Structure 1
Amino acid sequence: MPEKHFAYLNLSLAMILVGSSVVAGKIMVDELPVFMASALRFALALIILLPIIRLREGGLPRLSRLTWAKLAVQSLCGSFLFTVFLLYGLTLTGPASAGVITSTTPACMGIIAWLFLKDRPSRKVLTGILLSMAGVLVINLVQAAPHGAPGGANPVLGNLLVLAAVLFESLFLLIRKTVPEPLSPMAVSTIISLFGLLWFLPMGVYEAAHTDLAAISPTGWLVVFYYGAFVTVLAYLFWFAGITKVPPSTAGVFTAIMPVAALVLSALVLGEPIGWQQLTGCACVLGGIVLISR
């Protein structure tokens, strides 16, 4: 398989797993506190990654202070802030709506690249960004109406939290391109997971001390395992293996797979109703993605 096609496959698999995190996160926050569950997730990821990188690469690489700082910020954005905003957002809105909103990631990446990487978008890209934002607006306006589709205790606030998660995820996806050292996907995944554990550990320990662990069902523990082994380890490995082989704009297009996976899994696993507002919002967002990708 050509290297470019292999990179596309890695990016696709990563986004399918990230899309599944919307469904897994909804199940997880129903049973476990956010910080405790996230700390367990990264602890499990490190239990898997550290022995492997020790055997395959002799341990963690030596990096400059600037690179360590960039990776710490990357983990703060993608591992910590993205997770916190997404999981708290899922306590207030439905996973189907959250899945649609996460599909604005390409548009968000385009805006960040324009502002900070001096990648000036064309009129077509700007139209795509506005169309993607219109999709989010449709979802929020409909769910704010008195007879809007059910989606959670406070769907508008929940959707805004998920949108903030998209911002941090976009920063997470782009920061990797600024690291000069040739790091392996295994090394980056391990370092990001290590920082992720450090960010969540203080509050995670506090929540664990005030949580009745015996009340957590086997399903809750199983979802934590899935989040750690698949959404963290495998998704990170797939993404970091692909992102270094393609331009940021190309990688951004592949994030469109994430909302499709989230919508399908929300319907199949959670029985989440997918109404016209999600379909309309998704159509707007995907239309914007098509314009951006072209």
Structure 2
Amino acid sequence: MNMKDTVKAYIAMSIAMTTVGSSIVVGKWVTQVFPVFLASLLRFGLASLVLIIILLIKEGVPKLTRKEIVLLFFQALTGVFLFNICLLIGLQKTPATESGIITSTTPMVISVLSLFFFKEKISWRSWVGVIMAVLGIAVIHVMGQAPASEGVGGFSLIGYGLLCAAVISEALFTLIGKSLTDRLSPLAITTFVTIWGCLLFIPLGVYQAISYDFYHPAFTDWLCIAYLAIVVTVIGFALWYFGISSVATSTSASFTGIIAVSALVLSNLLLHEPMGWNHIIGMLIVVGAIIFSAQSERRSTQDSSPDSEQLSL
């Protein structure tokens, strides 16, 4: 893969993770108006309709093997359904500081699982980049926070277990997606994962819809649902699959740190939440981790190239 394609992958992953970070901010508004599972059903239902139309126009429906159907289902189950449930409930039962520490380990978990399940060799430079990303996210989430959130204190085995499950689910979402990019296009993967996600949210979403007053949401509330569906799900997911198909897993793991940075910056700009020095330091560490990981991958590619000796100065 040439440098131009690599840069495109980096840009795609950066935009994708920025949209995911923005979904945290927009999600705060949405969940004040819509029940969580109903909001998820509306989001993935709308995204499914849009993606089906785009897929039919651009590529047509690809033939899926039984293995691919199962993998797409498990990707939706882990990264779409279980991740959202475990994260939302886990955050309610766990102090902010501890929850920040647990969720910040996502890049590390992605790399470790790729080592065990996919036997992917990770250089020491890549490990340094992953560890930097973890530290940066931890600084953003942990430093400067109170020891416990309001109404949350003590040790909750269920809370910590759910947050760990959310981290593992997000890691599996990335790894399964990377394994599917060899044959399926980013658009096809996004479409089928979104459809599976919509189907998984139907039971609880319909249950909440039965007693919900649909005249209550304002026009801007429906725009937020549309944003989550089209920008975050349709565009963000497709860009993420495009990016991870072209880079090492450890590099894509470092890019997940952008979620924390994006959420922090947008929370400050749109929700007027305070930003301290710890946040700025954490963001710089995350950006440094991404740059370091990108340079490490480029160096590893050059080292493995048969013409590397001629290309080096």
TM bucket (normalised to shorter chain) is 0.7 to 0.9
Specify the alignment match of 2:21 in structure 1. 19
Normalised TM-score (structure 1): 0.81
Alignment of 1:155-234 (within 5 A): 164-179=165-180, 182-234=183-235
Distance 2:260 2:136 in 1: 16
Q: What's the offset of the Cα at 1:280?
A: 6.4
Specify the alignment match of 2:258 in structure 1. 257
Q: 1:281 to 1:258 in 2, by over 3 A?
A: same
Q: 1:183 to 1:73 in 2, by over 3 A?
A: same
Distance 2:41 2:136 in 1: 35
* Percent sequence identity over aligned pairs: 39
Specify the alignment match of 2:34 in structure 1. 32
Please give the root-mean-square deviation of Cα atoms over the aligned residues, in Å.
3.7
Specify the alignment match of 2:47 in structure 1. 45
Q: What's the offset of the Cα at 1:246?
A: 1.6
**Contact 1:101–1:259 (CA<8 Å) still a contact in 2?**
no
Specify the alignment match of 1:70 in structure 2. 71
Distance 1:72 1:39 in 2: 16
- For each residue in 1:262-283, what CA deviation from the matched residue of structure 2 results, as whole angstroms up to 9, or x when unmatched? 1100111111223466556667
Alignment of 1:1-150 (within 5 A): 2-58=4-60, 60-88=61-89, 104-119=105-120, 132=134, 136=138, 139=141, 143=145, 145=147
- Greater relative contact order (CA < 8 Å, ≥ 6 in sequence): 1
Does the residue aligned with 1:215 lie in a helix, a strand or coil? coil
Q: 1:49 to 1:72 in 2, by over 3 A?
A: same
Q: What's the offset of the Cα at 1:91?
A: 6.1
- For each residue in 1:94-137, what CA deviation from the matched residue of structure 2 results, as whole angstroms up to 9, or x when unmatched? 99998897554322211212332334656676676667369649
What is the aligned residue count?
289
Distance 1:29 1:65 in 2: 36
| 1:154 counterpart (152, 155, 162) | 152
- For each residue in 1:32-89, what CA deviation from the matched residue of structure 2 results, as whole angstroms up to 9, or x when unmatched? 111111011011101211111112222x211111111011101111111222234445
Structure 1 residue identity aligned to 2:236: A
Q: What's the offset of the Cα at 1:2?
A: 2.0
Q: 1:260 to 1:130 in 2, by over 3 A?
A: closer
Normalised TM-score (structure 2): 0.77
Structure 2: gaps (5+ residues): 297-313
The higher radius of gyration belongs to 2
Distance 1:287 1:55 in 2: 40
Structure 1 residue identity aligned to 2:36: V
Q: 1:288 to 1:50 in 2, by over 3 A?
A: closer
Specify the alignment match of 2:301 in structure 1. none
Q: 1:81 to 1:199 in 2, by over 3 A?
A: same
